Structure 1
């Protein structure tokens, strides 16, 4: 029995590019019509060479502290009320509703009774726990005794020894005992699949092992919810989850869900569907009254959702934080915003005026539209406000600083670069203003660029970190791929219409800008490119695609456009396949930096990407390798990745997926579309990949009519989230 972990790799040809594991299997979202996009997840960062806490470790520690704070606040809201053998009051009622809905019956009114709306407060006073500027590093590694116990259990069950450190880390102290008592806990290790855990359980339990084991039902339920999170969902609708459980040979899906909720491993929710057209409505039972009796009102339609506590609490915390931002803006503001708007460029004046009167503002536009938030930050600072911009990458900060009128971050004396801080650096305290005595960010205005990349957990951290009275602007291009992590925060906020939305009228110029703008509205137009800014290179098969790509990167683009090969980025739909990132990186390494790959397949000079935390990808270059690990230079910073983390967090970077490339741009880009990529293409994928080019775009084209079909007919895959319903209950719709 083999239980080698199957790495989850997005954008995989044959894996559909929506978070589907690389081995061809599908997440529940993919199997049950609830698919979404995802980007590869990587473990937490390896420590930096310096003794200080690394940025990635600090960010992860900050997230742990925030989740603990959210959980404490959640527990304080309502104590459990006994109702049934295992469940507490509301959960028991809602689970009964799940059974009723699944059986086509009317759910109990007590479960879905409308709650009294919470009164709006003009300036809520949240309870914050002070947080240090530099959080401590993560939890200590498992003890040697735990590791040895895990090794013995895995050997007894026929699992590979390579899983030992991952199991010990995932299950913590006592992992060996826990795994022996419940072999399906092996599913908590990323990459392990149900059939592999089943084989392990059979080896340990023998005749006692069966598909109806309650432990298996719970473990598979949690695994399916985790797979859904990889595909971008914060929860799954009850019917979709039940169908996925049935496909995994769970005999009684409802019982498995009930057991999972009873053990506190998942939560159940109900959301009203008032705005869903033609939604079925449940009506009260016939009371037997006379024709002239009181009329009964139709009950609101609902959907029942099941989700992991981690994402449920983050989504609720985000909604609460955004409601506080909206409601806590002071009624009297001494700043002369109108004067700032009048003196600002015309394209930015509307944004400045919107920010003047609102705590939360959404701003949409392409690359050229970044000049407008840059002008906003400059105007706010001219008014004496502590204004900051945050991007998701160092490259985003570079592009922000290049905008006309952009300002530095005000900390030049501390060595901070001009332009924007990074979101990770801001949250960890490594960049930006730091935090005040209450643990809130010490600022008056925060502009977050590339907002579609915000996952629900990061967005919740940002919202909860803002002080009362601060303004928040989320700015980004709604056409690009959504976040790597669960949620679709920016899209949900745009759909909820709970705050002003300012759409930029500044177009992206040139042939590439014209091409990408057309893709955004579903049109793949032929553009006039007199300077060869856009070139189509037709190919017949994947082998020719790899050959032509290497030729373009090594010779044609540098010779024709003067762009060095190290500034040419290849983007392809997936990691696997004959023209995926692995094949292309192998070919490009042979041409650009041949070597034996002495350290985990890498050599000094190799172009790489480092993924220190889920959803974060930083381009870099290998400097050297020694006993400490692999030494990288990433965005001007030295990074040391220990040997055990190299395989999981470092890849060659001459070729990337669109999910890895989102939020960054290069002088020249070669987009590779081999024939086996036809099934994974969507309009957001094409829009994102083509939009990474600044001066030149080459398209190695082998998908024939699949490309125009994807642009015209295949929008973003849906994600199941609760944020719009939560916001509707807390914040009234904007005028």
Structure 2
């Protein structure tokens, strides 16, 4: 990847920050030939020299200490419980705080190890908060809560776990936990070694690694961890190996016990790539068929049922299309723009159609909806994010498809808050549904969507197959593309400009050189995480807004993770100090703070803090007012000047700064780079500290595989369209 180097103003004095001993022009192979100017119109020639990594850490510690002292001085309530715990209790509390602070669960055998941290700067630690119950759910009784508190105290577990345990285990939780201490593993954030310590405290000499209860609990925990990594099931050998790593002496017996208790299900799927048996008569053919190799899968019931429901729903959509429909689709295709005509013709004769393409290709589904509405059909679109909804609504207006009511978010459509609502039978009142951002559909959401469609309705799943997959388990769009069970329409409309050219190359594994005469793409080389934070702040606060005439609100930072010296926490702390300093009076936030609001896992909406009162934290997200109850603020709201690529997917900004510190090299993959770079509309700055890891990731590191059953289920439901 190469860019036209910026020449307006140098970002650093000569010989500083260019990554070369002599202060000359650095060369980053595969990432162009940027100069020390690196950023559009950034900084003054007399800028102060860079802080060293150690100095940056000390400065971050000082700022964090000051922030903590300010917050302590303003708090009038009692000190949070658990402050003086040690041993197992402290470990349990640390795990809960880590998860409720938004960190990923600890690495397991189902995910690649995280890169070793490079002396990261201290990060803000979020305090545990009571778990808010789903709407309509009954709170645990006081008797249950007290019983749980007593058992946890006896086992040395922190009191902060009481509401989580009571909610997860339900009524009678205290008795269940005393009878089976490893049920503590059902609480998010608790790890097997911590549950083992709790069990030893309760059971004493009766506690052992061969306890059948422990084997079942660890099996379910591993399947839950696999779901976090995107799997809907695990192959039996992989699960057995993981159980052995967790000191379960008889993995097969543990799995059998878990299945017998109904806590997991077992499946046998025939292997398609098995070598065919030699034909030697009908009897031998029958015997060969019976001996056809299978793979044994173990999965949790919720995901197994969701995949089966999704396969059934999609088969119904494909098979329930009216045979004698009076709609004149041929005329609609003839009058539509040429790129959309193929999509309209496919929808005319099929209930389910897949459409692939980038951002510019969204004009084709918009033309489809316009044509369907002109034919008198109830046609709607659904997007992953509120930002996507607004952008697609503008396309619909251009295509003369009515106002913005024809498009909703997926969550809003299913809840009834947006879109057409439901008919008397409970199905969506709809004839055609186009789902944008289809790669973001996890298996449970996709199953609910398919079940919600009435008989005879058409479904179009449209999206860019190069972006990151869903945050939840499954790879629905990729599985459907691989199954080839329905027509697939690939858009030939490329995304425009240097950024579009760069991202298109990344999609096929090439980090190409692009001409960027308007500084659309700029590389900013850095040597360490401290310098990466410094340069990022310069770009967001001054360089990019000044060069492109943009407000800083239109500049979004994207980085690989939350932790580390250049993760979202460190970057957001630094950006807040420059853009909206304040004491964080409202749960760590101040009016004017940019935030990322995540009302549900895998769904993030950027917004801004408006204020706070007794009702909670008031936000403005995508033009809508949102009130977050104070007990949910810690777990659902983060500062949002910097996001991860998973949080940013489904959104786009005029300018994006992608931060790639050296310790992020192992986190990079082609889908990650494709997604992060593709969030930019007018300008992309890459704060580059990973050297050859970037071109290597684009060329060699594809999406991590996910184990799913949907392709097998689809094959049993519908024949291939090949």
Pairwise TM-score range, normalised by the shorter structure: 0.7 to 0.9
Deviations 1:301-321 (A, max 9, x none): 210000000000000000000
Residue 523 of structure 1: aligned partner: 510
Alignment of 1:153-552 (within 5 A): 153-274=151-272, 276=273, 279=274, 296-297=287-288, 299-403=291-395, 417-418=404-405, 420-552=407-539
Secondary structure in 1 matching 2:433: strand
Structure 1 Cα separation of the partners of residues 709 and 498 of structure 2: 39
Distance 1:225 1:197 in 2: 16
Structure 1 residue 387: Cα displacement: 0.3
Alpha-carbon spacing, 1:306–1:8, altered in 2? closer, same or farther (3 Å)? farther
Residue 5 (structure 1) shift: 5.0
Distance 1:9 1:733, change over 3 A: farther
Instruction: Assess, with a 3 A threshold, how the Cα gap between structure 1 residues 199 and 356 changes in structure 2: closer, same or farther.
Output: same
Q: Is the 8 A contact 1:232 1:486 kept in 2?
A: yes
What SS does the aligned partner of 1:4 have? Answer: helix
What is the Cα deviation at residue 349 of structure 1?
0.1
Alignment counterpart, residue 692 of structure 1, candidates 679, 687, 693 = 679
Aligned to 2:69: none
**Partners of 1:552 and 1:565 in 2: CA distance:** 9
Write the deviation string for residues 157-190 of structure 1: whole angstroms up to 9, x where unpaired: 1111111111111111111111111111111111
CA contact (8 A) 1:574 1:657 kept: yes
- The 8 Å contact of residues 683 and 716 in structure 1, kept in 2 or not, is answered as yes
Mapped partners of 1:611, 1:506: distance in 2: 33
Question: Does structure 2 conserve the Cα–Cα contact (< 8 Å) formed by 1:387 and 1:443?
Answer: yes
- Alignment of structure 1 residues 1-40 onto 2, 5 Å: 1=88, 2-4=91-93, 6=95, 22=104, 25-30=107-112
Distance 1:153 1:8 in 2: 20
- Distance in 1 (alpha carbons) for counterparts of 2:282 and 2:278: 18
- Give the corresponding residue for 2:41: none
State the Cα distance separating 1:418 from its structure 2 match. 4.3
Structure-2 separation of matches of 1:25 and 1:475? 33
Q: Is the 8 A contact 2:129 2:631 kept in 1?
A: no
Q: Distance in 1 between matches of 2:293 and 2:98?
A: 37
Structure 2 counterpart of 1:639, from 610, 626, 644 = 626
TM-superposed deviation, 1:26: 2.1
1:126-148 deviation line (CA, Å, top 9, x unaligned)? xxxxxxxxxxx331111222112
Deviation at 1:24, TM superposition (A): 5.1
Deviation, structure 1 residue 272: 0.9
Q: Which runs of 5+ in 2 are unaligned?
A: 1-87, 114-127
Q: Is residue 567–residue 666 contact of structure 1 (8 Å, CA) maintained in 2?
A: yes
CA distance in 2, matches of 1:629, 1:477: 37
The 8 Å contact of residues 378 and 405 in structure 1, kept in 2 or not, is answered as no
> What's the offset of the Cα at 1:645?
1.6
Q: Aligned pair in 2 of structure 1 residues 710, 730: CA closer, same or farther (>3 Å)? A: same
CA deviation digits over 1:485-531, x for unaligned, max 9?
Answer: 00000000000000000000000000000000000000001110000
**Contact 2:559-2:659 within 8 A present in 1 as well:** yes
Q: Which deviations, in whole Å up to 9, do the C-alpha atoms of 1:9-56 show, x marking residues without a partner?
A: 99x9xxxxxx9x64753253548xxxxxxxxxxx99999xxxxxxxxx
1:600 is aligned to 587
Q: Distance in 1 between matches of 2:623 and 2:412?
A: 14
Stretch deviating more after TM superposition (165-174 or 694-703): 165-174
Instruction: Provide closer, same or farther for how the CA distance between residues 320 and 624 of structure 1 changes in structure 2, counting only shifts above 3 A.
Output: same
Tell me the alpha carbon deviations over residues 537-588 of structure 1, each in whole angstroms, 9 at most, x when there is no partner: 0000000000000010000011001111111110000000010000000000
Q: How many angstroms apart in 1 are the aligned matches of 2:218 and 2:296?
A: 19
Q: Please say which of residues 292-301 and 140-149 is displaced more in the overlay.
A: 292-301
Question: Bigger shift: 1-10 or 480-489?
Answer: 1-10
Q: Secondary structure at the match of 1:28?
A: coil
TM-score (norm 2): 0.82
Residue 261 (structure 1) shift: 0.6
Using the alignment, how far apart are the partners of 2:370 and 2:579 within structure 1? 42
Q: Is the 8 A contact 1:549 1:700 kept in 2?
A: yes
For 1:204 and 1:30, how far apart are their aligned partners in 2?
34
Change in CA separation of 1:8 and 1:726 when aligned onto 2, cut-off 3 Å: farther
8 A Cα contact 1:541 1:674, kept in partner: yes
1:579-629 CA-partner distances (Å, limit 9, x unpaired): 000000000010011111123211111111111111111111112223322
Structure 1 residue 402: Cα displacement = 2.5
Q: Secondary structure at the match of 2:638?
A: strand
Write the distance in 2 (CA, Å) between the matches of 1:662 and 1:432. Answer: 22
Corresponding residue of 1:145: 143
Superposition deviation, residue 454 in structure 1? 0.3
Which residue of 1 is the match for residue 606 of structure 2?
Answer: 619
Distance in 2 (CA, whole Å) between partners of 1:186 and 1:46 is 15
Contact preservation (8 Å) 1:46, 1:642: no
DSSP 3-state at the match of 2:304: helix
Equivalent residue pairs, number: 616
Q: Distance in 2 between matches of 1:9 and 1:612?
A: 18
C-alpha separation in 2, matches of 1:9 and 1:169: 19
CA contact (8 A) 1:45 1:611 kept: no
Q: Structure 1 pair 22/453, CA: closer, same or farther in 2 (3 Å)? A: closer
2:26 aligns to what?
A: none
Q: Distance in 2 between matches of 1:157 and 1:283?
A: 62
Contact 1:407 1:419 in 2 (8 A): no
Alpha-carbon distance between aligned partners in 2 of 1:644 and 1:168, rounded to the nearest angstrom: 17
TM-score (norm 1): 0.81
1:446 alignment partner, SS class: strand
Residue number in structure 2 paired with 1:126 = none
Deviation at 1:638, TM superposition (A): 2.1
* Distance change >3 Å, CA 8–CA 217, structure 1 → 2: farther
1:335–1:292 CA distance, 2 compared to 1 (3 A)? closer
